[in-house]
Amino acid sequence: MSGNPVASLLPTKLAPTSTFSVLMSCTIVLLFVSLLMYKWRRRRLEKLASLMPGPPALPILGNGLEFMGSPEDVMGKIISISSSYESPFRVWIGPLLIVVLKNPEDIQIVLNSSKTLGKDPLYRFFRNTVGTGLFSAPVEKWKKNRKAITPAFNNRLLENFVPVFNEQNKYLIQKLSKHVDKGTFELFDYISAATLDIICQTALGIDVKAQDNPNCEFAQALYRASELDYMRIYKFWLHTDLIFYNTGYGKELSKIYKQLHEMPNLVIKKRKDEYYQRKQRQRLIDEGKMKKPEEEEPKRMRIFLDILLELKDSGTTFTDDDLRDEVVTMMVGGSETSALTNCFCLLLLAMHPEIQDKVYNEVYSIFGDSDREVTWDDLNRLVYLEQVLKETLRRFAVGPIFLREVKEDIDLTRYTIPGGCTIALCPIALHMRSDIYPEPEKFDPDRFLPENIAKRHKYSFIPFSGGPRGCIGSKYAMYSMKTTVSTILRNYTLQTDVKMEDIKLKVDLLMRSSIGYPVTIKPRIRKPIPIPA
- For every residue of 270-310, DSSP letters joined together read HHHHHHHHHHHHHHHHHTTSSPPPSSPPPPPPP-HHHHHHH
Where b means 16+ CB within 10 Å and e means fewer, 201-235 reads: bbbbbbbbebbeeeebebbebbbbbbbbbbbbbbb
The one-letter amino acid at 245: Y
Contact 98, 401 (CB under 8 A): no
pLDDT at 1: 46
- Distance CA(415)–CA(412), nearest Å, equals 5
Residue 35 domain flag? no
Residue 34 domain flag? no
Residue 487, helix vs strand vs coil = helix
Using only C-alpha atoms, the chain has a radius of gyration, in whole angstroms, of 28
Residue 155 domain flag? yes
Instruction: Print the domain residue range for 140.
Output: 48-523
For every residue of 214-252, DSSP letters joined together read TT-HHHHHHHHHHHHHHHHHH-GGG-SHHHHTTSHHHHH
The total of other beta-carbon atoms located within 10 Å of residue 493's CB is 20
Residue 275 domain flag? yes
- Distance CA(24)–CA(4), nearest Å, equals 32
Q: In the beta sheet, which residues pair with residue 492?
A: 523
Cα end-to-end distance, the chain, whole Å: 115
Contact 356, 456 (CB under 8 A): no
- Distance CA(156)–CA(154), nearest Å, equals 5
Tell me, what CATH number does 67's domain have? 1.10.630.10
pLDDT at 169: 97
The DSSP element (H or E) to which 81 belongs, if any, is helix 71-84
Length of the chain: 533
- Distance CA(343)–CA(181), nearest Å, equals 19
Q: In the chain, how many domains are there?
A: 1
Residue 27 domain flag? no
Residue 377 domain flag? yes
- Distance CA(278)–CA(373), nearest Å, equals 32
Residue 416, helix vs strand vs coil = strand
Q: What is the DSSP letter of 168?
A: H
pLDDT at 90: 94
Per-residue pLDDT of the chain (533 residues; tens, 9 = 90+): 445 554 454 455 545 667 878 888 888 888 777 777 767 777 888 888 889 999 998 888 888 888 887 888 888 888 899 989 999 999 998 888 999 999 999 999 999 999 999 988 877 887 777 778 888 888 888 888 888 888 878 899 999 999 999 999 999 999 999 999 999 999 999 999 999 999 989 988 888 899 998 777 877 887 788 778 877 777 777 888 888 888 888 888 888 888 878 888 888 888 888 888 888 877 777 777 777 776 666 677 888 888 888 888 887 778 888 888 888 888 877 788 999 999 999 999 999 999 999 999 999 999 999 999 999 999 999 999 999 999 999 999 998 889 999 999 999 999 999 999 999 999 999 999 999 999 999 999 999 999 999 999 999 999 999 999 998 889 999 999 999 999 999 999 999 999 999 999 998 778 999 999 999 999 999 888 887 76
Residue 460, helix vs strand vs coil = helix
Residue 67, helix vs strand vs coil = helix
pLDDT at 412: 95
Q: Which of 517, 514, 519, 533 is nearest to 73 (CA)?
A: 514
Q: What is the DSSP letter of 425?
A: E
Residue 99, helix vs strand vs coil = strand
Record the pTM: 0.88
Question: What does each C-alpha distance from 365 to 277, 360, 361, 528 come to in angstroms?
Answer: 47, 8, 6, 8
| Angle of helix 304-313 versus helix 139-149 axis, rounded to 10 | 100
Ramachandran bin of 439, using left for φ above 0, alpha for ψ from -120 to 50, beta for the remaining angles:
left
Q: In the beta sheet, which residues pair with residue 506?
A: 512
Residue 528 domain flag? no
Residue 5 domain flag? no
